[in-house]
Structure 1
């Protein structure tokens, strides 16, 4: 193990603007149009998941959507009505506490989702196979929800509650949402049957994973830390054979006090095997650590041309 000393120039950190300043930042027209298009597409995708796969097979989603599905089943009133009515109090709360843009984006998503499920209600389910319905319903549900989140909106009021609770509790937004959904999905066993509750959990898990995939993308990035005496050769090989730039950091051994050079670079998931091959070839005893990165922005991450 080493204690790494990174010597880089760092200007005085710029504090984020206050909430009131953020709320008054005006979005560009093209950005507004892009958000609207993606929120509409995402909400339609979720509507397809509900009415074409999940609801006809008595499978529910979590949050307000799940409550709306069970209430519709018990009252025989269209789901779209409850999706809109149940979310209104949370939208008002979000408008007052989180921000105008987020609340309006969520309102648009909820309206489109309510209209979509109402229009698709007469359409027959694509499959009567409960397992296929859970799998493909979860895929469409996760993809649609992820698209809406990337556009800066939401389709469920429980996320607004989770955001507000996160400010005054040690629990994260994801933990709060999962805690709430645990009880909502479990209640499906009393309304429908326990096998339907278990299939609902399967659909929710698939949707959860697809949301992550939608937000992070297929081309996952990885950070690489390499400590080697042959740092110059390894760095040149990464640049020449992978087309990736490298950064040399100054490190010092915590026990020996020896000065070390640490190579830092960002690669894609598909380049990991080739990077390991390069390091092993040039220094079989080099230290190599690889970690996942959810987002990469700025700098010169774009791949250089390899001749």
Structure 2
């Protein structure tokens, strides 16, 4: 990894961690709204024992990093440790700052956005801000549940605890904040203009390919396929588009061959090749 790339990763993790800290100390914590995972537990403990949340964020996350070291790898563990330390320092420095709003709904929305974007940036840089996912990975190896199901169970329990520690309004606001943060993580990682991969099988592959190239300005690749039942050779059209171009692609394919088989999938990242639109004159 080059020095420039390493520096960019570090800057991204620092910015994401500090943005996460802003979401906590400027919006959520002052309004008794919590997040899921280790962060939620840290907020509850901070409220109960009167100790700064940054201390619990660091202390509670570190054991899970050591626990999952062999499972997640050295680079990921160090990146996560770095991000957690920055987040802990950020929350400590921001703790004396006056919150921007005391309206729970506003705090929920803007706090959730800050948390989600912050976590998304750290994940894109190769780290994490919460050890609960590591726990879920380890537990899933010994129980018939997926990582996502275990994380959801943990977070429902933690978010529900806000009702007993604070009040049930806080618990419901916490659920909303968690949902907003969850969606913002996806948007940050995948981008608003999400890329999609498309496979098209049609006897009119040449016409469809030319139309897609001309009207969408995207590069098209013909793959060789074979029908499993008939054994007939097939041409498969492969193309990568943005989410906003999906409707236009379907319209083009429908126009050329209404019986064509079309499969569309989401892509998180596109690198190399000729993904940028071509200028068609």
TM-score (norm 2): 0.90
2:35 paired residue among 61, 73, 76: 61
Query: Which position in structure 2 is the counterpart of 1:42?
Result: 16
Mapped pair 1:155 → 2:129: yes
Mapped pair 1:191 → 2:146: no
Mapped pair 1:214 → 2:193: no
Query: Which position in structure 2 is the counterpart of 1:31?
Result: 5
Moved more, 159-168 or 40-49: 159-168
DSSP 3-state at the match of 2:115: helix
Moved more, 177-186 or 284-293: 284-293
Query: Which position in structure 2 is the counterpart of 1:71?
Result: 45
2:79 paired residue among 99, 105, 108: 105
Query: Which position in structure 2 is the counterpart of 1:123?
Result: 97
CA gap of 1:231–1:96, structure 2 versus 1, over 3 A, is: closer
Query: Which position in structure 2 is the counterpart of 1:236?
Result: 210
Moved more, 205-214 or 253-262: 253-262
Query: Which position in structure 2 is the counterpart of 1:4?
Result: none
Which has the higher Rg, Structure 1 or Structure 2?
1
- Cα deviation, 1:19-52, whole Å, max 9, x if unaligned, reads xxxxxxxx43223222211111111000000011
Mapped pair 1:266 → 2:214: no
2:219 and 2:82 map into 1 onto residues whose CA distance is: 42
Shift of 1:207: 0.5
Query: Which position in structure 1 is the counterpart of 2:265?
Result: 291
CA gap of 1:266–1:120, structure 2 versus 1, over 3 A, is: same
2:185 and 2:171 map into 1 onto residues whose CA distance is: 21
2:204 and 2:40 map into 1 onto residues whose CA distance is: 57
Moved more, 250-259 or 230-239: 250-259
Shift of 1:96: 5.3
Shift of 1:119: 1.3
2:109 paired residue among 120, 135, 143: 135
TM-score (norm 1): 0.83
- Cα deviation, 1:163-193, whole Å, max 9, x if unaligned, reads 3334444433333222211111111111011
1:238 and 1:225 map into 2 onto residues whose CA distance is: 12
Shift of 1:159: 2.1
Query: Which position in structure 1 is the counterpart of 2:156?
Result: 182
